[in-house]
Structure 1
Amino acid sequence: MAEETVDYSLANPDTLTKYKVAAGISQTVLKAVTGWCVEGANIVEVCEKGDKLLEEEVAKVYKGKKIAKGIAHPTTVSPSSYITPYTPLKTDEEEAATVLKPGEVIKIQLGAQIDGFGAILCDSIIIPSEKNEDDKLPGRQADLLLATHYANELLLRLMIPPGLVPTGTEEEQKKAAAQKPPTQAKITQLLEKVVKSFDCNLVESTTCWLFERNEIEAKKKIILAPGEGVRGEGIPEIGEVWGVEMGVSLGSGKVKTLSNRPTLHRRTTTTYGLKRPSSRATLSEIVKKFGTFPFSLRQLEDERSAKVGVVECVRGGVVRQYEVVGDKDNEPVARLFTTIALTKNGLTRLSGPPSPDLEQYKTDKKITDEEVLKILERPIGKPPGTKSKNKKKKKKPAKKVAAEAEEDEEGESSDEE
């Protein structure tokens, strides 16, 4: 079949299957990496082990088929006040010695891709500290994680086209379907109500992107708490896959570029005649191994020559470098990232952070805004296999995909509220 005639949209069941297989791998690896993140663990070593496991898991699927597959996002472990994904290099000795500290809020991000369909996820965890003898997170740490969790849940519900998932009486359903989708300004306003309930702030210019095949930054984007002169474009629609990001800070949420060397890069669609042989060799390896997905310089064959070769690639615009960004006040930041599919049945979480055990968090703060609470009660998808209004007795389909099972649980908890 000619390349042009293949339907890569969600209308083709193969597309969703590939997303789900990639998502299952991402979930498996996230669970393993989370287990390795303990006090004293070396960040570079954790990232390398995560990438190795991603490659091993990807190698097990679609064997013998001529399908490109690999890493959609390298394993990154970002310390407390870091906002962007962080993955130090072994050849930068000082950074390579960075270890995890107890009580630190870290962000783990990674992803697999099958045939160009990437499923990326990010979770925030607190490195266990001996102070938490009763396994409960005290005070501000609890506030931060709760604010991020509820803001993320609210954002996911605001991504669903109005009236898509039936709730309430027939009249209420008609009214919901007639509503316009919330504007990006309205989305930010509602999310701010959530995070301010916990005395936190949204991270400036947190961005959600439309995903397409081989592209994790397609034509549409939603920008939360936009910085000056920044604006998003477009609204989510049925048939789309999105990468949904949530960033929350215990500080002001304002950002600053850190002095660390950018080690995360991504090939662009720009063409440019590279002059140096080392640059051409580096670009050739990038194209072969990663396509247009993000990668870390430590994943290239020779890290030292990659550091040299990538300079002209960045200058010529054929490779983009991700600056290392942190919280302006050096306060802890939590981030979550979920890859979602919007279908006629609502929202499917393809890959994302596991549901937290809310019993762990000790805080006296809570959300009181009626509009926000009402949105949080909405289910995110139609119950599987039921067209009637009897939502309580839904049976989980016996599907093997881990992300599916997790999504079903989410749907049930929403329906029961």
Structure 2
Amino acid sequence: MSNMDKVMQSEAAKDGVMIPNNMADKDTDEQEETIAEDLVAIQKYKMAGEISNFVIQGVISQCVAGALVRDLCSLGDRLVLEETAKVFKKEKDVKKGIAFPTCVSVNNCVCHFSPLASDTDVELNDGDVVKIDLGAHVDGFIASVAHTVVVGSSPSTQITGRKADILLAAHYASEAAFGLMKSGTENQAVTNVVQTVAEGFQCKPIIGMLSHQLKQFEINGEKSIIQNPNEKQRKEHEKSTFELYEVYAIDVLISSGEGMAKEMDTHTTLFKKNKETYALNKKASRALLKEVNLKCGTMPFCLRNLEDEQKACVGVPECVSHKLLEPFPVLYEEPNEIVAQFKFTVLLMPNGPQKITGLSFDPTAFQSENSITDEEVKKLITSSTRSKPNKKNPETTEVAKKPDWLMILDTKIEELRAMKGVDDSPNLPLDFQLQSLHETRSAPVQGVDYAAIHGNILALMRGEEPKKLDPGTMAKFSQLWQLHKQRILALPEVPFPEFQPKAGSALESKMESTEQNSENWSAD
């Protein structure tokens, strides 16, 4: 996590009866950013992914016999806030923090268990199957993760029986799903492969559970993947196709029972603000909504993390009844069943899917009498495992060697080369067309290497290998690229042809002066 220290509140909500606007509620048409449009967005996703992975490992380390679930949930949330506070310290307008509150769901509890101080707590025992689910975000770019552990287990003792079945089924279903996360794949393919894997271990996916596309400040994006749908859900669920640069949180939940999750007497503590508006009557409801808007925006939150959870509980019913808040109910399987969960966040990149969250899992620690029989699924899982980076294998392809940010730059370069420039001198060397990068602001942003930005664009346009930029410079480059690409003429020839200005012209004088001052400004 030390690298994050090197990387790079909001306007107050209006006091009233209507839902106020907040920076977290960005207009999707004008302000939403994607990894294709913002070069630093991928860095923010990965920063959030590193934080989520780090935090969940910290929570897992405390999942021992005698531990209390409330303490574990509080630990996870506290760690997320501490770690996200370490990044983008100087950027006051960058929101960051909890994208999904820490939930610790034990045995037959399926999901969303994150108790308040006033709730009955749960103590962990040896042999319990514990699911930890959480998420972090940096500037609204979300990374979610979930993992399942068996309390008291050790590498020296193999887990058998139904516990082994559900853990192996959930793990392999997750791996198979990852293998399908490519541009052009239909969401139903993931639904089907999860079902196939679960059936191989005599298990059932939890009916109707959704995996969502992620967007900036939006945890439940437009596209989704459903697992084990009933007939009505299968007919109503919208079909979709994965596209390049999309981001998904793939959530796999497998049950030893029938996969029927239902609410019981545990009251809901997790909510998410919707975009509905309504004139609330109760003071407690208005105060709750104001605090949520200020602290959480559109991200899910736990009542435990608000200033006064008791007062918040008073305001919840009115907000929920008028659909201002969306609840995440605590769900359960039958008491004698157990459920396992694995969740990872994946970026669909030009050089293949990039998994930014998810912990390692050792299937050899589990012994099951069941197995996957479908040969195509076996091949898919094998290819998914082999596609993971192997630092010891030097025989990687040229595409695999390219970092994600360079793949995005390559795409933008192609766009630029296809553009028609607005400069009147079609043969003007690129060096001088990019001079404005140095002169964009009267007061340049501190810490941004403008010369490196200029040099990298030159290198890329000439087909040369660019240098990797630090995150702050990368962020500024992303902005400058959008501002200046209409002013940059890109000719198809690489390198650019020699250009001789008219004798005695101002351009000739400027070129001569610049060449004398720096070799970097020489016209190739």
TM-score, normalising length: structure 2? 0.66
Partner Cα separation in structure 2 for residue 64 and residue 393 of structure 1: 37
- Aligned partner of 1:217 among 217, 220, 232: 220
- Using the TM superposition, give the Cα deviation of residue 396 of structure 1 relative to its aligned residue in structure 2, in angstroms: 8.0
After superposition, give the CA deviation of every residue in 1:66-96 in whole Å (9 maximum; x if it has no partner).
201110011110011111221011112xx13
Partner Cα separation in structure 2 for residue 323 and residue 367 of structure 1: 32
- Using the TM superposition, give the Cα deviation of residue 270 of structure 1 relative to its aligned residue in structure 2, in angstroms: 0.6
Larger radius of gyration: 2
CA RMSD across the alignment = 2.7
Q: In 2, are the aligned partners of 1:122 and 1:337 still within 8 Å (CA)? A: yes
| Alignment match, 1:167 | none
Whether 2:148 is the aligned partner of 1:142: answer no
- Aligned partner of 2:94 among 47, 58, 67: 67
Q: In 2, are the aligned partners of 1:76 and 1:109 still within 8 Å (CA)? A: yes
SS where residue 351 of structure 1 aligns?
Answer: coil
- Using the TM superposition, give the Cα deviation of residue 235 of structure 1 relative to its aligned residue in structure 2, in angstroms: 2.3
Whether 2:402 is the aligned partner of 1:378: answer no
Work out the percentage of aligned pairs sharing the same amino acid. 35
Partner Cα separation in structure 1 for residue 241 and residue 130 of structure 2: 30
Partner Cα separation in structure 2 for residue 6 and residue 218 of structure 1: 15
Farther-moved stretch of structure 1 (257-266 vs 359-368): 359-368
- Aligned partner of 2:45 among 8, 14, 19: 19
Whether 2:235 is the aligned partner of 1:229: answer no
Partner Cα separation in structure 1 for residue 201 and residue 386 of structure 2: 28
Whether 2:367 is the aligned partner of 1:340: answer no
Whether 2:103 is the aligned partner of 1:76: answer yes
Whether 2:292 is the aligned partner of 1:286: answer yes
Partner Cα separation in structure 2 for residue 142 and residue 363 of structure 1: 6
Partner Cα separation in structure 2 for residue 380 and residue 368 of structure 1: 18
- Using the TM superposition, give the Cα deviation of residue 246 of structure 1 relative to its aligned residue in structure 2, in angstroms: 0.5
- Aligned partner of 2:257 among 248, 251, 262: 251
Tell me which amino acid in the other structure corresponds to 2:326. R
Higher strand residue share: 1
Change (3 A) 1:364 1:381: closer
- Using the TM superposition, give the Cα deviation of residue 134 of structure 1 relative to its aligned residue in structure 2, in angstroms: 3.4
| Alignment match, 2:34 | 9
Partner Cα separation in structure 2 for residue 198 and residue 393 of structure 1: 38
Partner Cα separation in structure 2 for residue 24 and residue 108 of structure 1: 16
Tell me which amino acid in the other structure corresponds to 2:117. K
Whether 2:151 is the aligned partner of 1:127: answer yes
Partner Cα separation in structure 1 for residue 50 and residue 139 of structure 2: 15
Whether 2:110 is the aligned partner of 1:105: answer no
| Alignment match, 2:326 | 320
Partner Cα separation in structure 1 for residue 172 and residue 388 of structure 2: 22
SS where residue 337 of structure 2 aligns?
Answer: coil
- Relative contact order, higher structure (CA 8 A, sep 6+): 1
- Using the TM superposition, give the Cα deviation of residue 382 of structure 1 relative to its aligned residue in structure 2, in angstroms: 7.2
After superposition, give the CA deviation of every residue in 1:296-324 in whole Å (9 maximum; x if it has no partner).
11011111111101121111211111121
Q: In 2, are the aligned partners of 1:345 and 1:381 still within 8 Å (CA)? A: no
SS where residue 208 of structure 1 aligns?
Answer: strand
Change (3 A) 1:364 1:385: closer
Structure 2 gaps, min length 5: 1-25, 405-524
| Alignment match, 2:433 | none
Tell me which amino acid in the other structure corresponds to 1:134. S
Change (3 A) 1:382 1:260: closer
Change (3 A) 1:289 1:54: same
After superposition, give the CA deviation of every residue in 1:180-239 in whole Å (9 maximum; x if it has no partner).
x3461x543332221122121111112111111111111111111113422432222111
Structure 1 gaps, min length 5: 163-180, 400-417
Partner Cα separation in structure 1 for residue 327 and residue 192 of structure 2: 31
Please give the residue correspondences for 1:344-383 in structure 2 after superposition, counting only pairs within 5 Å. 344-352=350-358, 354-379=359-384
Aligned residues: 371
Q: In 2, are the aligned partners of 1:384 and 1:394 still within 8 Å (CA)? A: no
SS where residue 266 of structure 2 aligns?
Answer: coil
Q: In 1, are the aligned partners of 2:191 and 2:225 still within 8 Å (CA)? A: no
TM-score, normalising length: structure 1? 0.83
Change (3 A) 1:378 1:56: same
Farther-moved stretch of structure 1 (210-219 vs 153-162): 153-162
Partner Cα separation in structure 1 for residue 66 and residue 321 of structure 2: 37
Q: In 2, are the aligned partners of 1:252 and 1:329 still within 8 Å (CA)? A: no
Partner Cα separation in structure 2 for residue 13 and residue 334 of structure 1: 36
After superposition, give the CA deviation of every residue in 1:106-151 in whole Å (9 maximum; x if it has no partner).
110111111111111110111116xx79332122211211111001
- Using the TM superposition, give the Cα deviation of residue 51 of structure 1 relative to its aligned residue in structure 2, in angstroms: 1.0
Partner Cα separation in structure 2 for residue 266 and residue 127 of structure 1: 31
Farther-moved stretch of structure 1 (226-235 vs 74-83): 226-235
Q: In 1, are the aligned partners of 2:285 and 2:314 still within 8 Å (CA)? A: yes
Partner Cα separation in structure 1 for residue 166 and residue 387 of structure 2: 30
Q: In 1, are the aligned partners of 2:65 and 2:126 still within 8 Å (CA)? A: yes
